[in-house]
Amino acid sequence: MNIGIDIDGVMTKQDKYVKDNFSKYLEKKNIPFKYDKTRERYYQQFSVTPEDEYAFWDENLFHYAKHAKVMPNASKFIDKLHRDGNTITIITSRTRSSHQTPEGEKMRQAVKTWLAKNKIYYDNIYFGSERTGKIELAKESKIDVMIDDSVRNINELSQFIPVLVFRNQANKKAKGPNKIIVNSWKDVYKTINNFSNISKK
């Protein structure tokens, strides 16, 4: 089985990074905010503007790329999936990573460095565009199941393959015929094992 895996919010603790660092950024910029974790988007959670969030990421994207914490047991269960005979294909739409510029190359290298530091195994890695999504890359790579947290990717990819969804505030309204909620990498492993067992029957 060829397993497609997103990075941000799936391998990384993106929500935690934003919670810990967006508030510091807003305080430094003297931008008033009030935190409400039940809101959908990050800028809504902090009661600021979309432009404030864009500015935060513009200033902190490479810091995030280097310092984001890894999801518990991601390395362990990705290794197990690999040892079970699956192909591990990372497909990320990390901002700037698809740009054919010095900054784009810097981001691609930052991603690979983070994966190595956190002992994440992979056979293939593709850097897609936020604008075009992942559907073409997934089809070209012959992905059998995708692990993602983006509403767009969930909605599009689940039309033709199962999508294992790491739930967050932004994707609660995502819809799709093959959407499966997972809460941990242990859940991911069990779910994919069930797919494999069914296909062998």
The one-digit pLDDT tens for each residue of the chain (201 residues) are 999 999 999 999 999 999 999 999 999 999 999 999 999 999 999 999 999 999 999 999 999 999 999 999 999 999 999 999 999 999 999 988 988 999 989 999 999 999 999 999 999 999 988 778 899 999 999 999 999 999 999 999 999 999 999 989 888 888 888 999 999 999 999 999 988 665 554
Residue 111: alpha-carbon gap to chain centroid = 12
For position 195, what pLDDT does the model report?
80
CATH fold for domain 2-13+70-200:
Rossmann fold (3.40.50)
| Residues, the chain | 201
Phi-psi label, residue 80: left if phi above 0, alpha if psi -120 to 50, beta otherwise: alpha
Copy the structure tokens of residue 19: 């919670």
- pLDDT of amino acid 201: 45
User: What is residue 29's predicted lDDT score, i.e. its pLDDT?
Assistant: 97
Determine phi and psi for 159, rounding to 5 degrees: -75, -20
Distance CA 89, CA 126 (A): 8
Please report the pLDDT score of residue 175 as a whole number. Answer: 84
| pLDDT for the residue 197 | 60
Domain boundaries, the chain: 2-13+70-200, 14-67
* pTM given for the model: 0.92
